[in-house]
């Protein structure tokens, strides 16, 4: 088993285990620290969607920082088992929902149900076109002032109506914070 450490909030320093799985690469500590500096350390009252949860690093980090609701989606049974075990270990309660589903199909269901989120974490497997497949669903998944976080194998200027306002690079990972209709700001 591999491990990831929660870096902030209620569960700071807790170590979570996750299995090997093709395409699974947890967001590094330094990148998560930057992301939550951009988002703010306190996510109280916010709802978050982690469409390709994998290790759960982003979803658990958001819940640790007070997010009211975090929905984590993955389709791998062994990854889901680890996410559920970690949620039990943290005593995450009702604010954390773990769902076994294909990300695009689940996003389509959420869209038809009218469920919107304040923050969407989009860290899909690389080289498979997931970002382009999710982009048309974003207007119905994110609140009007919702933010989008995307990790990709290359830099992105936009994703649908969302424009990169902050960006960074760590090794081969390009990461982006996007807001609807805004233009690029200085990034870290």
Beta-sheet pairing, 162-170 with 173-180: antiparallel
The answer on pLDDT for 117 being more than 50 is yes
What's the whole-model pTM score?
A: 0.90
| Domain encompassing residue 22 | 2-180
CATH number of the domain that residue 140 is part of: 3.40.50.150
pLDDT in tens, 67-108: 999 999 999 999 999 999 999 999 998 889 999 999 989 988
Count of structural domains within the chain? 1
Say how many C-beta atoms besides its own lie within 10 A of residue 66's C-beta. 15
Reported confidence tier of residue 187, pLDDT bands at 50, 70, 90: very low
> Which has the closest alpha carbon to 92: 66, 110, 116, 74?
66
pLDDT in tens, 3-28: 889 999 999 999 988 877 766 677 77
Whether 40 is covered by a domain: the verdict is yes
Q: How many CA atoms lie within 13 A of 111 on its CB side?
A: 13
Whether 94 is covered by a domain: the verdict is yes
Burial of 53 (0-12, 13-18, 19+ CB in 10 A): buried
Is the alpha carbon torsion for 153, 155, 160, 162 positive or negative?
positive
Task: Give the three-state DSSP class for 145.
Answer: strand
């Amino acid at each position: 088993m591999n491990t990831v450490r929660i870096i902030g909030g209620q569960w700071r320093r807790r170590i979570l285990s996750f299995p090997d799985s093709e395409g699974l690469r947890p967001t590094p500590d330094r990148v998560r620290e930057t992301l939550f500096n951009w988002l703010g350390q306190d996510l109280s009252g916010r709802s978050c969607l982690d469409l390709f949860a994998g290790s759960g690093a982003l979803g658990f980090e958001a819940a640790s920082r007070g997010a009211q609701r975090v929905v984590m989606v993955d389709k791998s049974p062994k990854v889901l088992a680890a996410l559920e075990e970690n949620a039990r270990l943290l005593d995450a309660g009702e604010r954390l929902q773990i769902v076994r589903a294909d990300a695009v199909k689940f996003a389509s269901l959420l869209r038809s149900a009218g469920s919107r989120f304040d923050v969407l974490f989009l860290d899909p497997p690389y080289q498979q076109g997931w970002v382009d497949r999710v982009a048309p669903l974003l207007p119905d998944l994110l609140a009007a002032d919702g933010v989008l976080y995307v990790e990709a194998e290359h830099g992105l200027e936009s994703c649908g109506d969302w424009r990169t306002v902050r960006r960074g690079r760590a090794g081969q990972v390009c990461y982006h914070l996007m807001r609807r209709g805004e233009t690029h700001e200085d990034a870290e």
